Amino acid sequence: MSLAETPDALTELLDQVADLSDQLVFLQRLIPQALALTDESQATELVQQAAALINTPGAALNVRGAWLGDTPGWLRDLRPPAHAAVLPAGSVHTGAPFTGAWRLTSVLAVPLQDGWLALWGKRDFLAGERELIHTLAQLLDAALRAMVQRREAARYAMQERDRRQAREVWRAVTPEALRTPPGYHLLLHSQPASDFGGDFQFQEAEWLVAGDVSGKGLPAAIITAMFASAFTVAARSTSMNATLGEALHDHLERSGAFCTLAAMQVRPDGQLRVMNVGHPPVLLRRADGSLEETRASAPPLGTFPLLHVEVERVWLHPGDALLVYSDGLFEAEDAAGVPFGLDRTRQLASAVAPTSFIRQAVSGLRDYAVSDDLTLLVLQHDPGGRGVQRHLPGDLQALATLSEALREAVPPDHPALMPAELAVTELFVNAVRHGGAREVTLRAHTSGDDILVTLSDDGQPFDPRQQTLGAGGELREHGYGLLIVQRCAREWHYVRKQHLNRQTLRLRAPTLPAPPP
């Protein structure tokens, strides 16, 4: 090399050293900037900075199949590279027609895991420039993946927070434990299919409510909270049916959801009012294992306007229990796809003591897949209380036995004992003579001055309340006995259930008129 050439060579060398120094400074700045990326636009800015550093007019970044910012049409037509490559000058022309000349350019294409970057605008890329861009691509790759992971983590944390808050709200409305009403044993098993489900249970004054909202997760939890609020208002209104319908039907219908419920108004003496709206049959399990059902008297809320719901009155005598369950029990399937079924549910309810029903049901589901929310509720009237349950033949000779059975439940000095004997005798005779009953079942217990009686018979449908009553003071067979029942009964209800006539009576000694002064 001649002395004349030395200054030019030295200048070129110094330029290369300066470029290298600039690139090192850029890389030093790049690392913390890349680690701090919060969105893809910041990555685009880093690509533009690198392009400016190596004197490249054009640069663009593609992330997950989309170009960030404005890019020329010819670049959008290029296929993503499988590996880093330089498309030679002549294969691509760039420029703005009518405002400047088209010119030949090379394109440096470097793939990323979820995209690629392109630089263009000069005839060739030096090895150091390609290495710089390759390093940039690696850093961007790692930074973009880390950014996506941070976003996912933040989204997951937000979802977890929302889910936790929703679960807290749901559990506030649908507690895992309920207050046991006086005079009863209450057992509850609440097993949602997810963090929060569509099954619910809560209490409002004397009402004990269980039900099921269609769907799962947060939408079902929101509707559950709405329902609990609506029921609270409805329970205090004069017309529960209308209030529930007005509060919920339109909203449920618009959202395509529906809601079932079994609501029980529980009195300490064993009197219950049971309402079933689209829910599985509520089982009344008597102390002897026999079952009665309260089936739905209306479709689920949200399907049709709630015009009328029948409220059934039942007496729970000592040892009797009410069993409420959701479809998560009988729709659970074994490995062969066979459901647990309603028949098996009834068999289990009859075979085991009420206090064992939940434990045996959960145990019986071990070989079944429970894919829906599962709620089991048992309300048993005090099994240690004094009462009687007696099955009698439909024979008038059993009248003496009937009186003896009643005295097992009623103390001999009870003021309503004699009126109760007269009333029960009259109803027994009517069931046998007019209904042709072959068996009559008496259940009874006392509550203060009242005697609560359930009389069931298998005769023909016969409602003695519809019979003509005799006038007071007339000693005649037909109608006078029913007048005694009417005078002694504070409540007298009749229903035809499962081919049985069932009468429930609250009997008290009649108040005698005051003697004349």
> Do 216 and 247 touch, CB atoms closer than 8 A?
no
User: With 80 as the cut, is the pLDDT of residue 430 above it?
Assistant: yes
Same domain, 143 and 122: yes
pLDDT in tens, 200-218: 888 888 999 998 888 766 6
Q: Are residues 322 and 344 in the same domain?
A: yes
DSSP letters of 217-277? HHHHHHHHHHHHHHHHHHHTSS-HHHHHIIIIIHHHHHHT--EEEEEEEE-TTSEEEEEEE
| Tokens describing residue 311 | 């409220």
Residue 164 lies in a domain: no
Is 28's pLDDT higher than 70? no
- For 109-143, give the DSSP string: EEEETTEEEEEEEES---HHHHHHHHHHHHHHHHH
pLDDT at position 287 is 95
Q: Are residues 209 and 354 in the same domain?
A: yes
Instruction: Please report, as a single letter, which amino acid is at residue 327.
Output: D
Predicted pLDDT at 232: 78
Crossing angle of the two packed helices 217-235 and 127-173, in degrees rounded to 10: 20
pLDDT of residue 470: 54
Q: Are residues 94 and 191 in the same domain?
A: no
Examine residue 167 and state whether it is found in any structural domain, yes or no: no
pLDDT for position 15 = 46
CA–CA separation, 432 vs 461, rounded Å? 12
Tokens of 32: 């913390």
Q: Answer whether 202's CB lies under 8 Å from 174's CB.
A: yes
User: What percent of the chain shows pLDDT beyond 70?
Assistant: 85
The pLDDT score that the predictor gives to residue 271 is: 96
Whether residue 27 is found in the same domain as residue 88: yes
Burial of 186 (0-12, 13-18, 19+ CB in 10 A): middle
Question: 211 and 96 in one domain?
Answer: no
pLDDT value, residue 475: 39
437: part of which helix (H) or strand (E)? none
- Indicate the SS3 state at residue 200: strand
pLDDT of residue 493: 95
Give φ, ψ of 297 to 5 degrees.
Answer: -105, 5
Last residue of a domain, one of 350, 381, 412: 381
How many angstroms separate the first and last alpha carbons of the chain? 150
**Mean pLDDT, rounded, of the chain:** 84
User: Could you give the strand order of the β-sheet that contains 271-277, starting from the edge strand earlier in sequence?
Assistant: 199-204, 207-213, 259-266, 271-277, 311-315
Give the pLDDT of residue 6: 55
- Claim to verify: residue 254 and residue 312 sit in the same structural domain: yes
Do 255 and 312 share a domain, yes or no? yes
Domain that holds residue 62: 6-151
Tokens of 295: 């089936």
pLDDT digits over 41-69, tens only? 888 888 888 888 888 888 999 998 889 87
Chain segment 68-100, per-residue pLDDT in tens: 877 888 888 888 889 989 888 776 666 554 344
Residues 6 or more apart in contact with residue 73 via CB below 8 angstroms: none
The answer to whether the CB of 424 falls within 8 A of the CB of 455 is yes
Same domain flag for 349 and 240: yes
Which of 116, 151, 186 terminates a domain? The answer is 151
Tens of pLDDT, residue by residue over 130-186, are 888 888 888 888 888 888 888 888 888 887 887 777 777 777 777 888 999 999 999
Rounded Cα gap, residues 320 and 222, in angstroms: 35
In a domain, 191, yes or no: yes
What is the total residue count of the chain? 517
The CATH number covering residue 65 comes to: 3.30.450.40
**How many whole angstroms separate alpha carbon 275 and alpha carbon 137?**
68
Domain match, 468 and 391 both: yes
Cβ of 381: how many Cβ atoms within 10 Å? 26
Contacts of residue 317, Cβ cutoff 8 Å, sequence gap at least 6: 270, 286, 287, 381, 387, 389, 443, 444, 445, 452, 454
pLDDT tens column, 371-394: 888 999 999 999 888 999 999 999
Domain count, the chain: 3
Record the tokens describing residue 494, joined without a space: 């009749």
pLDDT value, residue 142 = 83
User: Is the domain of 29 the same as that of 90?
Assistant: yes
pTM: 0.70
Region 434-458: what's the mean pLDDT?
95
Query: What confidence tier does 333 reach under pLDDT thresholds 50, 70, 90?
Result: very high
Buried b (16+ CB within 10 A) or exposed e, 109-139: bbbbeebbbbbbbbeebeeebbebbebbbeb
Of 31-35, 400-404, 473-477, least confident by mean pLDDT is: 473-477
- Top mean pLDDT of 122-131, 187-196, 347-356 is at 347-356
CA distance 51 to 60: 9
As a whole number of angstroms, the distance between CA 297 and CA 10 comes to: 100
pLDDT of amino acid 498: 85
pLDDT, mean of residues 181-195 = 89
| pLDDT the model gives residue 97 | 46
Q: Could you tell me the CATH number of the domain that includes residue 246?
A: 3.60.40.10
Dihedral of CA atoms 77, 78, 80, 82 in degrees, nearest 10, equals 150
CATH code: domain of residue 490: 3.30.565.10
Quote the CA–CA distance of 333 and 364 in Å, as a whole number. 11
The percent of residues above 90 in pLDDT, for the chain, comes to 41
Q: Which residues contact 511 (CB under 8 A, 6 or more apart)?
A: none
- Looking at 328, 357, 381, the residue that finishes a domain is 381
CA distances from 104 to 117, 121, 125, 246, 396 (A): 19, 8, 13, 75, 117
pLDDT in tens, 209-257: 998 888 766 677 777 777 777 777 777 776 777 777 777 777 777 777 8
- Range with the poorest average pLDDT among 80-94, 307-321, 463-477: 463-477
Burial grade of 430 (CB within 10 A; 0-12, 13-18, 19 or more): buried
